Chain A
Amino acid sequence: MFYREAGQFKSSYKEDQAVFPILQDRIGIAILLLVAFIGIPLFAGDYFVGAIMTPFLILALAAVGLNILTGYAGQISLGTGAFMAVGAFSAYKLATFSIALGGAEATLPLILTILLAGVVAALVGVMFGIPSLRIKGFYLAVATLAAQFFIEWLLVKVGWFTNYSPSGVITAPPLVVLGYEFHTPAEKYLFTLTFVVVMAMAAKNLVRSHIGRGWMAIRDMDIAAEIIGFRPLQTKLTAFAVSSFFCGVAGALWAFVHLGTVEPEAFGINRSFSILFMVIIGGMGSILGAFIGAAFITLLPIFLNNVPPMIGWNIGVDMVAHLEFMIFGVLIIFFLIVEPHGLARLWTIGKEKLRTWPFPY
C-alpha cells in the first residue's frame, strides 16, 4: 500500500534505467539526504556527529570500495587497510610536498590532494591485484594479506613517507578548501558526507555499467565470463583499481578528517578484517549493504557498550566490554542465520512486503 509502483509508467529508456526508477525510492533517498545533510548537523550533538557519524561514513566508503572488489567482482581481499594507508600517506605526502614547494599558501587544493591519493592507492591496488589471476578464493584472501603486511611494514620503515618524523606518526595539515577551514565536528562531517554521497552514487552507477556487468560475470564464473568475451586480466584489475581508489580516499579522509593524525597501525590487519565483515554482513554486491554493514560493525559495539551504564547496570567496564563482544558475536551469527545474503537483502524483502501490505494477495 505504501510502496505501490502501479501507475508509474516509463515512457523512455532513460527513465526506465534511472538509478532509482520508483518514485517512493526517490522520495526516500531525498528524505535521507535531507536528514543527513541538514538534520544531523543541526540537531545532533558533537559526540554523535564527530565520534560516530564521521568515522561511520568513512568506513562505509571503504566498505563500498571493498564491496566492488569482493561483492561485485568476487575477489576476496584482506588488504583494505593497507590500501587505506596508502591513501592516507599519499595525501600527507602530497599536502606537505606542496607546502615545501611554495609555502602554506600555494598548497595543492585539498580535494585534489585526496583524489590524487586515491589514484595512488589505485595504482598500488592494481599491483597487488595481479596475483588474483592465478590465485582464487580464500587463497587469494590470504595472499592479499601479503600486501597488508608489506605495505604496513614499508610505511613504518621508510622515513620518507612520514617526512622523517621520529616515531612514524604523521599529523595531518588543517582542512582548508578555498580558504575556508573545516573546523567543527559538524563541518568535518559535512565535508565527509559530500565525498561519501558523490562517490557512492558513482559506485552505484559504475556497477550498473558494462564495467560492472563484467565484474559480475567474472564473479559468477570466471571461465564462463572469459569464454563470452570478458578479459579476466582487465576486468579483475579494473576492479582492484576502482576498489583501491575508494579505499585510498577513505584512508585519506580517515587521516585528515577523522583522526587528524595517522600512524600505520590505524590501518592494521584489524581494519582490513572489519571492513570485510561489513561487506559480508551488509550484503555482498550491494552498495546499500556496505552502509548497513558499516553501521552494524561500527555502531553496534559502541551502542552495546553504552547500554549497561545507561540503564544503570553497574558491572564494571571490563564486563561491559566482554558482554559487548559476546552479544556482537551472537548477533553476527543470528543475522547470518536469518538472512545469509546480508542485511541489505532484508531491506529488499521488506520492500517486497510493503508493496502488497496489508493485502498479501
Chain B
Amino acid sequence: MKLNKLNIAVVLIAGFLTTTSCSNFLDVESREIIEAGDSEDVITPEEYVNGVYGMFTDWNYAFAYLGITEILSDNADKGSSPTDSGTDKDVLDNLTYTNTTPSFESLWSHWYKSIGRATEAITYTENYGLTDEGYKNRLIGEAKFLRALNYFFLVRGWGDVTIQELDLIERKPAAEVYDYIEKDLTDAIAVLPLKSGYASADLGRATKGAAQGLLAKVYLYQKKWQQAYDMAQEVINSGQYGLESDYAVLWRVTSENGTESLFEFQGRGVAIAHGIQQYSETQGARGTSGWGWGFNTPSQNLLDAYNAEGDAIRRDATIIFRGEVMYDGRVVDVGVENPMYNEKAYSSANAGAADGDKNIRYLRLGEIYLISAEAANELGNSSGALADLNRVRNRVSLAAVTTTDQTQLRTLIYKERRLELGFEHDRWFDLIRTGQAEAAMTAAGKPFQSKHNLFPVPNAQINQTPEMTQNPGW
C-alpha cells in the first residue's frame, strides 16, 4: 500500500473540492429585471397612488363603460352601423345580454383591479417610512377615495359583491359593502385637503369635497336621506364650488376641473398624449365625413324628454345633431351615419384621436344640488328641496318648480336628474335605484325583467370560483 502517495493525493483532492465552496457564487445579479430590493429605491408611494388614477385612462371606460351605463338605458342607443355590434353593444341595447357578455366581465375585473391597486398603494405608503405625516395621510386618503369609488361602481351594478380585502369568494351583502365604502370615504374626508388646499400641480387629485360629494351620493343610494342631505350641504357650503353659469360649457375643455367640478377622470390630447383611451373616438360621428365610431348615441326617447320640457339649452349641450354647426365651428356633415351623437364626449381639439383631451366629469356640484333636493324632499323638507332643484333649473332658464307635494316633487326631481345628467353615465342606475326601470324601459320598447335589476356576475368569474353565487335570473 503506497500510503504516502495516497495521502498526498487525498490532500490535493481535498484542496480541489474545497475551492469550489465559495459562498457568493449563487448570488447572481439580475440583469433584465429590476430586483425587488432595488425597486423600492426607485418607486415612491406617490407613484403607486398615481397608478390607481391611471386606471381611469383605460380603454374600458371608452367602450364597455358606455355599454353598461348608458346604452342599456333609455337614454341611448347602440348607434354606429347596424352590422357593427361593437362586441356586445347590440345585446346591451336590447337587454338580451347574458352572463358571458364581455362588457360586464371587463368592468367587473377592471374595477376590482383598480381596488387592488388602491389597497397596494395604501399598504406601500403606510410602510414606506414617509416622515411628512400630512403628505402620507393625503396619499392614503386619495387611495381610499379611489377604492370607495370603485366599490361604489360594483355595488350599484351587482348588489352583493366580494370585498377584495376580506374574501374573494363570498359575496358580502350590499349593505356591508356600503358600510365599507362609507368607512373609506369617512377616512378620506378626514385627511384630504380641500380643493383649494392642493398645489396647482396637483389639480385633479381627490379632494375632501370629492369624498364628501361621493359620500352624499352613496348615502342617497342607500336612502339614508338625512346623511345624504347633510353631506351634500357640507359640499355646497364648503365655499369650494359653484355652478358654471353656462350649462353648455360644462363638458368643454374650458371648464375642466373648474368651479363646478368635484372629481374628473383626466385626459390629455396633445403630445405627450395620454387620454382616456378612445373615449371621444368611439362616440364620434361615424361615416365618411365623421371622426369616430358612432357608438352610444342619444335616443329619440331622450330627445323627446328634452323637448317635452322645453329644455333647449341642455338638449343642445348634450346632443350633436346631424348637419349642425358646432360651437367650435365644426360642421357636422349631413352624411354622417346616425342622426344624433353624444356631445358630452366630443373633443374639439382631438376629435377622432385615440388620445383625446376629454375629461370625464364624474361628480359635479349640479348633481350635489339634486342629491340635496331629493334627500330634502324625502325628509319632508320641500322648501329646501325646491331651493336646490330650482338652482339647477334656473341656470338653464327653466321655470321654477313650485309644488310641495312630496310625490310630485319626487317625480320632478327624478326627471331633472335625467335631463341635467344626460350621458353622464348615471341614468341606468337612477332607474334601478328609484324603481322606475321597468316602466321606463318598457316604454322604450325594451324587454325589462326583474333579473335586470342587477348585472350578471361574469361567467368567467364563476368558472374561477364556482362557489360564488350568481345574481337571480342569470
Q: Do A and B bind each other?
A: no
